[in-house]
Amino acid sequence: MSALQLNILKLVDEKGQIENTLDVPVLAKEDPNTSLHSALTSLWAKEMINFKKLETEKWILTEEAKDIVAHGSHEFRLLEEVLKNLDGLKISDVNSKLGAVGKLGQGKAFKNGWVGKDGDKLVAKVTELPSADPAVVSLKEVEQTGSLPDKKELAELKKRKLVQLTKIVGYEITKAAKFATTITNLETDITSEMIASGSWKDANFKPYNFQSEGVYPNSGALHPLNKVREEFRQIFFSMGFTEMPANQYVESGFWNFDTLYVPQQHPARDLQDTFYLKDPARAKLPEDKEYLENIKQVHENGKYGSIGYRYPWKEEESLRMVLRTHSTAISSAMLHKLADDPKPIRLFSIDRVFRNEAVDATHLAEFHQIEGVLAGYDITLGDLIGFMEDFFAKMGVHGLRFKAAYNPYTEPSMEIFAYHKGLGKWVEIGNSGMFRPEMLESMGLPKNLRVLGWGLSLERPTMIKYGVSNIRELLGHKVSLDFIETNPAARLDEDLV
Ligand code: PHE
């Protein structure tokens, strides 16, 4: 409870009400927008007073005008000087005697009929100084009343930059229901002691403030990658896809590479590109021995109409353990299962993959892959293109372009491009292809059950969506918690690419 608040209550009590705080000197000197306003608001919250803002306009003096009030107007001071010189004041002496005042005062002194010109001199046209300086009289009136009755004169003072209009705020204050001259602190909570002692019956409680914004509750927040992931999942579900169990980060080289017809000398299998595990260093042999044999044959000499890679395939190499480099390892295992009961199917996964890459602003050694595979009888490259157009259209991306590419496990393979309006260029948004017979027939899938697949990164659309340019601000120790807690829900729409 401040002294100001008590003062306000005392004044309202004495006067019955205050029509305008500007008329009450102790209140008029308070800042109406800060101290006075907060004192009034807190009394109002206690239902002791009501108050209303009153805005009025008032003319006030500029610095120059204040100087005139203190020292006289330029024209008055000029006349004073001219009168001192009975023979008149040489125009060339005005500056040395009066400085800028002389120059500024001349026009008005002529206009007032106070001085005239005689050759190179200024001469007085009146015999003595007027009893009062008219400009000072007017300015003093403005200072006291905030205006002048003569609007023309006021306009002239404004033109001379001596007065300016300002807004001033005052308040009307009236008594409210709980008005008193002292303030009792209001209870904000009912406590167990109050109930036990019965003091709650006479206690004064602070009314609820329904305008209050309240405290933001602490709550968890989904990471942007999770939000975008969820959007993609919904798109997959809406197109009849089932989610693959992809929560297994460690794979054997067999599933990650060999089943996908990636030759054992392929650069992707290099230490430079792939993380190998030390412990356990070896995977168990796959249970399906026939499948293992098919893989060996198709790599070494070819099978199912293929001539193979013609190199000695080593079981050793296929049993090395790796952090999976793509989720296609999971797709391969799922397709192998499909061979038990071959039929058209749609599968997807969105999960983490690892690559032994140099880390920079847009690459980490791990990322999330969005992958889809679709099996159908006699489907062709045309189906793949059409399907990609439908899939990306679901997130507002139209007008795709396809470019021939290479994957060991698909033929043909295509990179997918979309025009990025923000960047003003075509960007690669995915990789796709028709899985090779070397891969599918080794599993025992019928020749005419063809499978198309595609993959893209989850990070890329997320970074575009949330305007993140450095991947380390999206994932890892540089991520700001505030960014995670305040970012909006993801909607995949036109601005994705
Ligand atoms: N595995 C591919 C990649 O890592 C994506 C892909 C999946 C391509 C399925 C074709 C078919 O980029």
What CATH number does the domain containing 43 carry? 3.30.1370.240
Residues 116 and 158 in one domain: no
Q: Which residue puts its alpha carbon closest to atom 2 of ligand 1?
A: 455
CB of 142 within 8 A of CB of 148?
A: yes
Rounded CA separation 476/435 (Å):
35
pLDDT 10s digits, 226-273: 999 999 999 999 999 999 999 899 999 999 999 999 999 998 898 889
Whose structure tokens read 């991306």?
397
Q: Which of 147, 167, 186 is the last residue of a domain?
A: 147
Rounded CA separation 476/459 (Å):
13
Measured between its terminal Cα atoms, the distance across the chain in Å is: 58
Q: What is the pTM of this model?
A: 0.60
Residues 92 and 156 in one domain: no
Residues 240 and 202 in one domain: no
Domain-located, residue 496: no
Write the CA distances from 438 to 295, 384, 415, 431, 450, integer angstroms.
8, 19, 21, 19, 12
Residues 167 and 244 in one domain: no
Q: In b/e form, how buried is each residue of 334-369, taking b as 16+ CB within 10 angstroms?
A: bbbebbeebeebebbbbbebbbeeeeeeeebebbbb
pLDDT of residue 2: 82
Residues 471 and 370 in one domain: yes
Q: Which of 189, 214, 239 is the last residue of a domain?
A: 214
How far out from the chain centre does Cα 34 lie?
30
371 lines ligand 1 (CB under 6 A): yes
Domain-located, residue 244: yes
Domain-located, residue 494: no
Domain-located, residue 219: no
As to burial, measured by CB atoms within 10 angstroms (0-12 exposed, 13-18 middle, 19+ buried), residue 40 is buried
Q: Which range (26-30, 221-225, 334-338, 358-362) has the least confidence?
A: 358-362
What CATH number does the domain containing 104 carry? 1.10.10
Residues 316 and 328 in one domain: yes
Domain-located, residue 405: yes
Residues 252 and 264 in one domain: yes
| Centre of ligand 1 from the C-alpha of residue 317, in Å | 22
Q: Which of 125, 147, 169 is the last residue of a domain?
A: 147
Residues 21 and 129 in one domain: no
Residues 57 and 74 in one domain: no
Residues 95 and 17 in one domain: no
| AA letter at 93 | D
Residues 354 and 439 in one domain: yes
| Centre of ligand 1 from the C-alpha of residue 186, in Å | 68
Confidence of residue 395 (pLDDT cuts 50, 70, 90): confident
Residue count of the chain:
497
pLDDT 10s digits, 179-233: 999 887 788 899 999 999 999 998 888 888 888 888 877 778 899 999 999 999 9
Rounded CA separation 120/92 (Å):
8
Rounded CA separation 37/8 (Å):
12
204: domain range? Answer: 1-61+148-214
433 lines ligand 1 (CB under 6 A): yes
Residues 301 and 390 in one domain: yes
Count of structural domains within the chain: 3
431 lines ligand 1 (CB under 6 A): yes
